Amino acid sequence: MEFTHNKNQIALYTEDGKLLAEITFPNINDKTVDINHTFVDQSLRGQGIAGKLMEELIQELENRNLTAIPTCSYAVKWFEKHPEHGNLLNQAG
């Protein structure tokens, strides 16, 4: 499974370009992003794809020295279940 990394999106596409899954994280400022949307196509649900998107995002945040404010309900719950990544949360949010 190969994810496409765009500036404020990590996505999974079919070979013909159909969006299958994505997580979006627009910038709030130079150091913080808003994790505002997670989507997984019905055909892939229940396979851990959203969690894999979050793992990709964690690497992206670390590589870019960013913090995050999760507003997407999935991302909020994911961070609650993975407190080891709490250092990436913007404490002001």
Summarised one tens digit per residue, pLDDT across range 10-28 is: 999 999 999 999 999 999 9
Cα 63 from Cα 77, distance rounded (Å): 23
The answer on pLDDT for 36 being more than 60 is yes
The answer on pLDDT for 91 being more than 90 is no
The answer on pLDDT for 2 being more than 70 is yes
**Alpha helices for 1-93 (secondary structure H):** 49-64, 73-81
Task: Show me where the domains of the chain are located.
Answer: 4-69
Cα 43 from Cα 56, distance rounded (Å): 20
The answer on pLDDT for 68 being more than 70 is yes
For 16, 43, 61, 77, the CA distances from 31, given in Å and listed in that order, are 34, 35, 10, 22
Give the mean pLDDT of the chain: 95
Share of the chain above pLDDT 70, in %: 98
Q: What is the CATH number of domain 4-69?
A: 3.40.630.30
Q: Look up the pTM and report it.
A: 0.92
